[in-house]
Amino acid sequence: DAGVIQSPRHEVTEMGQEVTLRCKPISGHNSLFWYRQTMMRGLELLIYFNNNVPIDDSGMPEDRFSAKMPNASFSTLKIQPSEPRDSAVYFCASSTLGQGLSPLHFGNGTRLTVT
């Protein structure tokens, strides 16, 4: 079991650029979550997929953020255009069942810095 794999580990970009974060969930897990972690706001759920379908995207901050899950083994979180306030650590997590019904398995995160 390789765990949840996120790439890149670090991303530094300039304001206005497009950023794409990638996630490979654990094989067999049906639910995938994108979280953002900052000192000020802690852990925030951005979006939640179940069986590749977005179930709840109410945490996505604004239209600059979009997420896709084209198949059971891959998801992306895109920010376009990026802004300095998007700087944070972005985590992907997966689980066998829906939100809270089974433990979440987290990736090691992508640290995004927007200058």
Residues that bind other proteins (CB under 8 A): 4, 42-43, 45, 48, 56, 91, 93, 98-101, 103-109
Kindly tell me which of 17 and 113 has the beta carbon lying closer to other proteins.
113
Question: What H or E segment, with its residue span, contains residue 66?
Answer: strand 65-71
CB of 105 to other proteins, least distance (A): 8
Kindly tell me which of 107 and 114 has the beta carbon lying closer to other proteins.
107
φ/ψ of residue 84, rounded to 5: -55, -35
Q: How many CA atoms lie within 13 A of 13 on its CB side?
A: 23
- What is the maximum alpha-carbon separation in the chain? 39
CB of 102 to other proteins, least distance (A): 9
